[in-house]
Structure 1
Amino acid sequence: MGTQGATVAELVQARWADHRPGLWFEDEVYSHHQVTAAAAARAALLADLLPRGAEAHVAVLLDNTPEFPRWLSAAALAGAAVAGINPTRRGAELARDILHTEARILITERAHLPLLDGLELPGVRVLVTDTDAYAELLKPYEGAKPGEHTVGEGGPRSRILLYFTSGSTGAPKAAICTQGRLAAAGQSLVRFHGVRLDDVHYICMPMFHGNAVIADWAPALAAGAGVALRRRFSASAFLSDVRKYRATYFTYVGRAVQYLLATEPGDDDRDNPLRVGFGTEAGAVDARRFAERFGVKLVEGYGSSEGGASIQRTADTPPGAIGRATPGDDLAVVDPASRAECPPARFGPGGRLLNGDEAIGELVNRGRNPFEGYWRNPEADAARVRDGWYWTGDLFYRDAAGFLYFAGRTDDRLRVDSENLAAAMIENILARWPAASAVAVYAVPDPVAGDQVMATLALSAGAASFSPSDFARFLAGQSDLGPKMIPTYLRIVDRMPVTATNKVHRVALRRTGFRCADPVWWRAGASSAYRRFSPEDLAGLLGRYREQGREDLLGR
């Protein structure tokens, strides 16, 4: 099954003699051989263009077009690395990302040229893929063969990716991924999902992000499967694309699944060739709805973007759990302050977590450490690996059988009335409300101490309007919803604000809090009923914050 290789370059070279269709984009079709030949030409071009002594890095500012996988393969063949650039970044932040990678060549397209207007990018040569000049530049290299032109040493320890990971604070960090790790990840997913030669992987998540490359492109390459590209994710075009390309596999992150579920249902939704969807943050409720509607199983996985820890799902994984530690990893859920391992979770009726305050902690890897570091960021390296342990920055709890349950990011922990709560757990409960297409839960400061729970709800297309009484009845029927989990504030939106990778834009939601233009409902005092949050309510509440000296906490 697939091709064994210690490096991505070996996996690319294995497709040289493969003349089957291997890449689809809109109405274009390319064979595996054509993709490999195009990669060899770009590797040769890179060898000529890269200044002597420069880092072997190429910045790529592209949508999901054929040029993106061509340059990934070219970098592998040349012993270079691709730095994916997020096109939603702007101005000085965008320039900072490009310059931070130390790339001397930037690959982009005409659609993104306006983003570069006015930016100072000293020493960076810009190549625009959809131009005659680019085609002319490549012509002399069209006869190149894989392995003829290199700029780096290559090998398993050679860098292949610099991909930015976002956090709640500070500039994005560029995580390093080597050829050995990417090849191993692809081959592992081939085995796990049973990827076959005749499979087609639909890549609709942005390729500047690790999910699309590591979890979608790499296993397709390792198996010799085909790849179908969507320039940008489109919920309305998803099914038609899947049918057009006969796609069998796709990946997702963040709220993509909710957007797909929010499309108009059709009688033929289950008439599709998909076999599996693999990703994270769909939630158990939406995964069930997706399987019922489309007949496709969603497999929730977990692997830290930097490669420091992973969790493997097995057939006996209970509902709500991600799985157990991958063999060889010594994963533990610990209290960050004491470094003591948290006790196992205890569950009550309806699966309610009874001891979340003591059972929820940060997931760490105390064993072998596959983390390869961040580019030129020793402070971030030191924060990620402390005393020989890899700290994921993610909250989990573990049951008595060793199964691990995701509870959110460490930034998503809430402390309500001296009790620690995890946003992800509350979200999974609120997601059961039929009128919601997406849910986000986060903390807002309490006027006196600790936090209060706030939720943003995006209504589904069939919901006429928000009914506070219906929502209150729904909450009362959730046996696993503890009283401190009930949101104090509800923000109602037509569409959930998301980042470029379709993850909820929690930073923006937390900063805005209840001071927003969208309708907000709240439970005032000890009341269990929701009512509209008025300008008078806001003025009175801000006065309470000022009295307690906590107004400066709002908007952080």
Structure 2
Amino acid sequence: MSRASNDMITWGMMLRKLPSIAKALPRVVKGLNVANVKQPDQPCGLGWSFEHATHRNPDGPALLQGEVKLSYAQVNQWANRIAHYLITQGIGKGDVVGVFIENRPELLVTVLAVAKVGAISAMLNTSQTQQALVHSVNLVEPVAIVVGGELVEAYSVIRAQVAIDAARTWWVADQDTLRDPDEVPAGFISLMRASADCPTGNPASSQQVYLDDPCFYIYTSGTTGLPKAGVFKHGRWLKTSTVFGLVALDMRPDDVVYCTLPLYHATGLCVCWGSAIYGASGFAIRRKFSASQFWNDVRKYQATTIGYVGELCRYLIDQPPSANDRDNAVVKMIGNGLRPGVWSEFKRRFGVNHICELYAASDGNIGFSNILNFENTIGFSLMSWALVEYAHDSCAPIRNSKGFMQKVGKGRQGLLLAKIDDKAPLDGYTDPQKTEKVVLHDVFEKGDRYFNTGDLLRSIGFGHAQFVDRLGDTYRWKGENVSTTEVENILLQHPLIAEAVAYGVEISNTNGRAGMVAITPAESLATLDFSELLSFARQHMPAYAVPLFLRVKVKMETTGTFKYQKTRLKDEAFDPRKTDGDPIYAWLPGSDTYVQITEQVLADIHGGKFHY
């Protein structure tokens, strides 16, 4: 609680921010006007915005990666060729196109082309394989898919389990695809080759996309179960792009955003790219994050802005100090999950002036941003929200004797609820039943409706808040949401595991929660081969979802309603002194098996010997 009191915002702090407030106010007013599209037939969204950015800065850099540097005019013409080709293939408004490409310009050009047609890009997680990938594809019933050469093998494994016509199964070479010399894999059509001679002018369809038209399906694990597809509409894309690009970051054509975040997530795709497009700024990307090359890339692209998640910042802090740490042009950064212990150190070491920490969910209707550059806060939101009391065991909000929910006081943490109204509609999921599960009715008065974010926040004064933790059965690790149900279902396919309960646990000096699973062997502890078990998990799960800790139990305790006692398991975590004799095993960095945790191993983990 001491940190919370230290981070409370006072009148004195606000008075010192008056120059910042005066400077930001015109941007806030302009942003509200631009983002507040009301007419249902007013053109807006990704394609429309990119065409306007191209008109403003045609020769300025739009996409940069490695030695590739494409101007706004070049990217727009490339996307137009693909869009015209898609139209000839019968792709039209409302059709779903699966996009399965790693971070590279081809991914963004494809998404832009799909948006110009009025179709919907299903942003498939490139870490997914096998049944998780089958589920994600079939969930949205795409009429077509675009597969990067680097992911052909992963898609080929599940291809027979999805109903997509071979004539609409497009391939994008894993290289500079404008030249496209590679041989096309059997059963695929080269998208770039097929669209090479199509017109370069803006298609008429890009002016026929409106605020309520879906732009992306962005997958989220939500609170339970396999991934759900959150609907991200063009109106919301415009609002996100404007709020972060103008109000929060004041992006200009001479700015460059450097983003190593996965572009199938909203932070990279909508916040970072959207901010760059709003400012007609450059957008530099990398296939995968590299701590050792991060600042070299920043200098190479002359980036003024970086996108982050908290874990990324910690990796950069863990790099050996260098004399040129402050030799960069970065003045602002935007992202989420930055912990207080890293916040001030990051600004000091790398010379970054403004950390625009944000809070948003791709499946929600609310966003916060740290526009005024306070320390250790997600900032404030212009939407209507409340923090309410909740039950620690069920994670459900508590109602009082009158049937309404109870707000928590300033300085206390509570469950974040966001009001659903005309200003903040909830787009929800592709499955209406899934959407209804996150809507609360009659919260503070009869007839009102609120979105249950499933997240704990703390109010720190003057409308500002801090992120505390996630509730429910989803935890966050390596910047990814991990579904405990999905982890459990995969482990239960192993013939030697009878029961599995997954949850997240905290490791000192890391962000998020690491995966831990309590398992009951089908036979006995002696039958478990921990090397084989780790290999099995790594084969069937994305790297960030592989459990770092295992607890072996003879019998799993349940409640009277046969629910596993996850709260107790989380509290006892991976400390053998608290687990009533249950052996605990850890996958230590650099090893290929789980090893039993002794007092010395536990001390080494807590002491930071291992870099997770």
Same topology, TM > 0.5 = yes
Match of 2:48 in 1: 10
Matched residue type, 1:24? L
Match of 2:602 in 1: none
Matched residue type, 1:306? D
The answer to whether structure 1 residue 308 and structure 2 residue 399 are counterparts is: no
Q: 1:500 Cα shift?
A: 10
> What are the within-5 Å matches in structure 2 for residues 249-288 of structure 1?
249-288=305-344
Which segment is superposed worse, 95-104 or 382-391? Answer: 95-104
Output one character per residue of 1:227-251: Cα deviation in whole Å (capped at 9) or x when no partner. Answer: 1121111112111111111111121
Match of 2:144 in 1: 105
Matched residue type, 1:156? L
> What are the within-5 Å matches in structure 2 for residues 346-385 of structure 1?
359-368=412-421, 369-375=424-430, 377-385=431-439
State how many pairs are aligned.
Answer: 446
Match of 2:67 in 1: 27
Match of 2:297 in 1: 241
- Percent identity over the alignment is 23
- Shift of the 321–25 alpha-carbon distance from structure 1 to 2, 3 Å rule, reads closer
Output one character per residue of 1:104-153: Cα deviation in whole Å (capped at 9) or x when no partner. Answer: 22112211111022322222432111155443201221x23113356x95
CA distance in 1, matches of 2:141, 2:50: 25
Q: 1:508 Cα shift?
A: 3.3
Matched residue type, 2:152? L
CA distance in 1, matches of 2:126, 2:258: 21
- Shift of the 508–269 alpha-carbon distance from structure 1 to 2, 3 Å rule, reads same
Matched residue type, 1:93? A
Q: 1:361 Cα shift?
A: 2.5
Match of 2:108 in 1: 69
**SS of alignment partner, residue 175 of structure 1:** strand
Q: 1:406 Cα shift?
A: 1.6
Which segment is superposed worse, 3-12 or 377-386? Answer: 3-12
> What's the RMSD between the two structures over aligned residues?
3.8
Is the Cα–Cα contact under 8 Å of residues 12 and 77 in structure 1 kept in the other structure? no
Match of 1:38 in 2: 78
Is the Cα–Cα contact under 8 Å of residues 15 and 36 in structure 1 kept in the other structure? no
CA distance in 1, matches of 2:344, 2:428: 36
**SS of alignment partner, residue 36 of structure 1:** helix
Output one character per residue of 1:421-446: Cα deviation in whole Å (capped at 9) or x when no partner. Answer: xx99x96xx85xxxx4657478999x
**SS of alignment partner, residue 117 of structure 1:** helix
Is the Cα–Cα contact under 8 Å of residues 256 and 283 in structure 2 kept in the other structure? yes
Match of 2:9 in 1: none
CA distance in 2, matches of 1:536, 1:31: 54
- Shift of the 25–444 alpha-carbon distance from structure 1 to 2, 3 Å rule, reads closer
Is the Cα–Cα contact under 8 Å of residues 383 and 419 in structure 2 kept in the other structure? no
Matched residue type, 1:284? P
**SS of alignment partner, residue 63 of structure 2:** strand
Output one character per residue of 1:432-481: Cα deviation in whole Å (capped at 9) or x when no partner. Answer: xxxx4657478999xxxxxxxxxxxxxxxxxxxxxxxxxxxxxxxxxxxx
Match of 2:455 in 1: 394
Output one character per residue of 1:10-68: Cα deviation in whole Å (capped at 9) or x when no partner. Answer: 2122244412222211111111000000111111111122368x952211111111111
**SS of alignment partner, residue 270 of structure 2:** helix
**SS of alignment partner, residue 288 of structure 1:** helix
> What are the within-5 Å matches in structure 2 for residues 123-272 of structure 1?
123-124=164-165, 125-130=168-173, 131-132=180-181, 133-141=190-198, 143-148=199-204, 153-167=208-222, 169-190=224-245, 191-272=247-328
Q: 1:501 Cα shift?
A: 10
- Shift of the 50–170 alpha-carbon distance from structure 1 to 2, 3 Å rule, reads farther
Is the Cα–Cα contact under 8 Å of residues 85 and 97 in structure 1 kept in the other structure? yes
Moved over 6 A (4+): 441-445, 499-502, 534-538
CA distance in 2, matches of 1:535, 1:100: 40
**SS of alignment partner, residue 215 of structure 1:** helix
Is the Cα–Cα contact under 8 Å of residues 218 and 362 in structure 2 kept in the other structure? no
Is the Cα–Cα contact under 8 Å of residues 357 and 377 in structure 2 kept in the other structure? no
Matched residue type, 1:129? V
- Unpaired runs of 5+ in structure 2? 1-26, 35-42, 174-179, 182-189, 391-396, 442-448, 476-502, 519-537, 554-572, 581-585, 587-594, 600-612
Q: 1:393 Cα shift?
A: 0.9
Matched residue type, 1:183? L
Is the Cα–Cα contact under 8 Å of residues 94 and 118 in structure 2 kept in the other structure? no
**SS of alignment partner, residue 508 of structure 1:** coil
Q: 1:273 Cα shift?
A: 1.1
| Equivalent position to 1:122, from 156, 163, 170 | 163
